[in-house]
Amino acid sequence: MRALAALERRSDAKGAKRVLRLEIGQPGFATPARVCDAAVRAIEGGETKYAAPSGAPRLREAVAEYLVRTRGVAYEAENVVVGPGAKPGLFLPTLACCDPGDEVVYPDPGFPTYAAMCAAAGATPRPVPLRSDGASFDMAALEASVNEKTKMIVINSPGNPTGGVMPREDVAAVARLAKKFNCWVMSDEIYSRLIYDDEEEGGENDEKIFSICALDGMKERTILVDGFSKTYCMTGWRLGWVACPKHLAEKIKLLTVHSVGCVAAFTQIAGVEALTGPQDSVKAMRDEYRVRRDFVVDALNDIPGISCPVPKGAFYAFPSFDFPDVTAQELADYLLEDARVALLPGTDFGAAGERHLRLSYVGELSDLREAMARIKTSLAKRF
Ligand code: PLP
């Protein structure tokens, strides 16, 4: 994104077209007012000191209750470790569980932190390609990649960057593999409240979320990662959690003590409000994103040379392109320069993203309309 910074500097020139930012996964809505108010009240009430390293007891309890409510699985406060965002929930358990020589299986394309956390733990990365609609692993490739050395299988449904939602039978197959080879499943559920199409999967009006932890024998081997960034538009607050067996939670706590220390106490109180207060903002946001998704996917499929499956969740589109002699990075650079639209090359998410671009549709519909029109014009000019 150095190119973006340079372009934005040059764009300061009068009359330059504004760069439309479709590259980041930052919700376009404000944090609900009730959550902000709770934080302000907490600061004014003196909640500004160190908090407990695993998280404030009130928040750990609220998370456990939320997990019971949404996943239907009996979690308790002692299963939960709160951290500054969901990212530590990925990183710290990997450090706690994996040694050099252990293998970690994760989706390709996938969230870049999965490769980084393997590198930090000295574990061997085993990226497994997704099938062409981006919804799930290529299951034959997954079966071929999991073996006695596998310490952890990472799943991410709905997923970044494809927006894919794994079919239940594939989740069940992952559970079978994890039990057969006695390994952990890290289930990154940060987009779990953003499923658009399938009411059964937890979309629409209810809060029910299908999670691998609910399958027989899986709670004991699931590292469930979730947080507030996407569901409650709280990316900058840095608040998330991991839920796992208590013995692992203790290890993650130790890593927290000596790394981040704790999360700000007033932020955690805002988190309690987010989970326990009225949830209507979540549905309103999801309804709006669904409209944006439908617009963006139709507009992309209307561009010659571009093809985009309908993502069932999250807030990303992951179109493929069919243009000769151009890499994903070159295409993203060209669109930034010519259309002044920022998006990401699929290769930022792994080698399997090479014929793809990723764009997020969190922005206003008017900006998305403008972006799609600019992309179409620029591509028609060059290809
Ligand atoms: N997991 C996935 C798949 C994500 O896309 C993100 C953020 O974009 C995260 C985890 C990290 O979330 P947080 O901002 O809460 O650390």
Which residues 6+ apart lie within 8 Å of 342 measured at CB? Answer: 1, 4, 19, 20, 21, 22, 23, 336
pLDDT at 3: 63
**Residues 152, 290 share a domain:** no
Residues spanned by the domain of 153: 48-276
The pair of three-digit structure tokens given for residue 269, joined into one six-digit string: 């109180």
**Residues 102, 69 share a domain:** yes
Residue nearest to atom 12 of ligand 1 (CA): 86
42 domain residue, yes or no: no
340 domain residue, yes or no: yes
149 domain residue, yes or no: yes
pLDDT at 81: 98
**Residues 103, 149 share a domain:** yes
* 13 backbone dihedrals φ, ψ, rounded to 5°: -55, 140
Question: Per-residue pLDDT averaged across 182-207, rounded?
Answer: 80
Residue nearest to atom 8 of ligand 1 (CA): 25
Answer with the one of 260, 276, 292 that is the final residue of a domain: 276
Q: Is the pLDDT at 14 greater than 60, yes or no?
A: no
The pair of three-digit structure tokens given for residue 217, joined into one six-digit string: 């024998």
Which residues 6+ apart lie within 8 Å of 66 measured at CB? Answer: 275
d(CA 316, CA 266): 31
**Residues 182, 69 share a domain:** yes
**Residues 188, 239 share a domain:** yes
Atom of ligand 1 nearest to the CA of 314: 5
Three-class secondary structure of residue 258 per DSSP: coil
**Residues 253, 285 share a domain:** no
pLDDT tens-digit readout, 211-260: 999 999 999 999 999 999 999 999 999 999 999 999 999 999 999 999 99
Choice from 229, 234, 358, 359 to test ligand 1 binding pocket (greatest atom count within 8 A of CB) = 229
Question: Per-residue pLDDT averaged across 183-195, rounded?
Answer: 97
Please report which confidence band the pLDDT of residue 25 belongs to, taking 50, 70 and 90 as the band edges: confident
| Omega before 109 within 30 of 0, i.e. cis | yes
Atom of ligand 1 nearest to the CA of 156: 3
Our measurement of the distance from residue 146's CA atom to the centroid of its chain's CA atoms, rounded to an integer in Å, reads 23
Question: Per-residue pLDDT averaged across 303-314, rounded?
Answer: 97
Q: In what order do the strands lie in the sheet with 316-317?
A: 316-317, 357-360, 344-345
Q: How much distance in Å is there from the Cα of 75 to the middle of ligand 1?
A: 22
Q: In what order do the strands lie in the sheet with 103-108?
A: 80-83, 240-243, 222-227, 184-188, 150-156, 103-108, 124-129
pLDDT at 204: 47
Q: How much distance in Å is there from the Cα of 152 to the middle of ligand 1?
A: 18
Q: Is the pLDDT at 205 greater than 50, yes or no?
A: no
Positive or negative CA dihedral for 369, 131, 110, 69?
positive
Q: How much distance in Å is there from the Cα of 236 to the middle of ligand 1?
A: 12
Q: Is the pLDDT at 262 greater than 60, yes or no?
A: yes
d(CA 377, CA 375): 6
81 domain residue, yes or no: yes
**Residues 303, 264 share a domain:** no
The C-alpha R_g of the chain, in whole angstroms, comes to 21
Helix pair angle (57-71, 265-276), 10° resolution:
30
Q: Is the pLDDT at 202 greater than 80, yes or no?
A: no
Q: Which residue has the tokens 């014929």?
A: 355
Choice from 230, 241, 348 to test ligand 1 binding pocket (greatest atom count within 8 A of CB) = 230
**Residues 267, 329 share a domain:** no
Q: Which residue has the tokens 């220390």?
A: 261
Number of domains present in the structure of the chain: 2
**Residues flanking ligand 1, CB < 6 Å:** 25, 85-87, 111, 156, 160, 188, 190, 227, 229, 235, 240
Q: Where are the extended beta strands (E) located within the chain?
A: 20-21, 80-83, 103-108, 124-129, 150-156, 184-188, 222-227, 240-243, 306-307, 316-317, 320-321, 341-342, 344-345, 357-360
Residue spans of alpha helices (H) in 258-354: 265-276, 280-301, 328-334
Of 142, 104, 110, 136, the C-alpha closest to 123 is 104
For position 338, which CATH number holds?
3.90.1150.10
Answer with the one of 276, 302, 324 that is the final residue of a domain: 276
How crowded is the C-beta side of 218, counted as CA atoms within 13 Å? 26
38 domain residue, yes or no: no
pLDDT at 199: 52
Q: Which residue has the tokens 């376009």?
A: 28
d(CA 56, CA 3): 41
Q: Poorest-confidence range of 1-10, 156-165, 321-330?
A: 1-10
**Residues 235, 150 share a domain:** yes
Choice from 23, 81, 87 to test ligand 1 binding pocket (greatest atom count within 8 A of CB) = 87
Number of CB atoms found within 10 A of residue 204's CB: 15
146 domain residue, yes or no: yes
Q: Diameter of the chain by CA atoms?
A: 63
**Residues 116, 258 share a domain:** yes
**b/e burial code for range 320-354 (CB count within 10 A of at least 16 → b):** bbeeeeeebbebbbbbbeebbbbbbbbbbbbebbe
pLDDT tens-digit readout, 51-96: 999 999 999 999 999 999 999 999 999 999 999 999 999 999 999 9
Q: Poorest-confidence range of 201-205, 250-254, 292-296?
A: 201-205
